[in-house]
Structure 1
Amino acid sequence: MVFKRRDRRPIWKIALEALWPRGGWGRAARYVQHRLHRLPDAPEKIARGIFAGVFTTFTPFYGLHFVCAASIAFILRGNIIASLLATFFGNPLTYVPIGIISMKTGYWLLGLNKDPAMHGSLGRKFAEAGQDLWHNILSIYSGAPTDWHGLSIFYHEVFFPYMIGGIIPGLIVATIAYYLSVPVIRVYQNRRRGTLRDKLALLKKKKKQADAGIASD
């Protein structure tokens, strides 16, 4: 196949590069920024897409961030490609502070008990929810009784507070990203148009010189 990789990467290397790209997250961020600037749309429309993507990173719908960002961008009439690129605001370097802020805000808004020892640590809640999910899937074939206790704790103490708590900080950060993006994208697009005009003018000048040379011959 034409587009098939010659060297097959091992699974551990794929997982490692997902957490830390080859050039680092700084290089990945610069690439995303470059792609956003080159999108052929109005700055406001691109910025609405960025708003959607950044806001989505404050939601607990991991694995569905692309779908959520594209849906929000569609509703806001923003650039969908920009929304997908902006989801890279959420990465292994930012997900921890995003999660902490969202969880603390959610617990505060819902008035929940903030004692983490009540039903174990956050990692334990994730583990027990995963065990319950796997057990309930197997119970379809084994006939064993289902158990939703761990998933119930996870929903009420992690997922729901995260979902509610991520709305306010998500809106704040996404709004800041919107208002910062509009002037930056506009300046970049104007500069790029100027560069293209200069190149076009230079090509026309060379063509006229070439035509004049042919006519003189």
Structure 2
Amino acid sequence: MKPTKRNCFINILRKVRINFLKIYYARGSAHEIALGAAIGAFWGVFPTFGLSTILSLLMYKFIRFNIVAALSGAFISNPLTSPFLLIISYKVGAYILDTNNPVDYNNWYKNLAEIGYVLIIGATVVSLLTSFIVYYLTKYVIEKRRGLRRD
């Protein structure tokens, strides 16, 4: 059976749900789980092109966090979201650096250094913002699930 776009979309949604549940039911303190998810989300959004797992494992040597949550959080970047994350990162970088240099898809490699610089600046901002949101949202959900938060 040939995979269709719908089947691929359903498989990605299934993986997102599984990774969310791994974070939701992870063991450890709410801070460790949220920090792991935030670190994974940071490397997932930052254009590491598949190295997010390795970078999360390397960071685990220096910072104490839930590694399962980090690996699950890195799944924020997948074939559906990666193009949008790259475009958003580039737009944010172009806004910060105040550059109006449009990307010419036919000759993009001629401006690779400038495009890369703009992308890295934007990706850093977008990754940090995403990781803060993921940290506080994850911590809130974990504390709510465990009944630690009394509103």
**TM-score normalized by structure 2?**
0.79
Amino-acid identity (%): 25
Deviation at 1:160, TM superposition (A): 2.4
Report the CA distance shift for 1:75/1:163 in structure 2 as closer, same or farther (over 3 A): farther
Give the secondary structure class of the aligned counterpart of 2:45: coil
The aligned residue for residue 137 of structure 2 is 180
The aligned residue for residue 99 of structure 1 is 86
8 Å CA contact 1:52–1:70 kept in 2: the answer is no
Structure 2 portions without partners, runs of 5+: none
Report the CA distance shift for 1:92/1:165 in structure 2 as closer, same or farther (over 3 A): same
The aligned residue for residue 49 of structure 2 is 62
- In the comparison of the two structures, how many residue pairs are matched? 147
Letter in 1 for 2:85: I
Deviations 1:114-139 (A, max 9, x none): 233xxx31x653xx5xxxxxxxxxxx
Q: What is the alpha-carbon root mean square deviation over aligned residues?
A: 2.8
Taking the TM superposition and a 5 Å limit, the aligned residue runs for 1:176-215 are 176-189=133-146
Q: Of the two structures, which has the highest relative contact order with CA contacts closer than 8 Å and spacing of 6 or more?
A: 2
Between the aligned partners of 1:98 and 1:110, the Cα distance in structure 2 is: 18
Letter in 2 for 1:163: I
The aligned residue for residue 170 of structure 1 is 127
8 Å CA contact 1:49–1:83 kept in 2: the answer is yes
Match of 1:44 among 31, 49, 66: 31
Deviation at 1:157, TM superposition (A): 3.0
Deviations 1:150-183 (A, max 9, x none): 5xx32x1332221111111211121111111112
Asked whether 1:20 is paired with 2:8, we answer yes
Between the aligned partners of 1:158 and 1:76, the Cα distance in structure 2 is: 32
Letter in 2 for 1:48: L
Deviation at 1:109, TM superposition (A): 2.7
Match of 2:117 among 146, 155, 160: 160
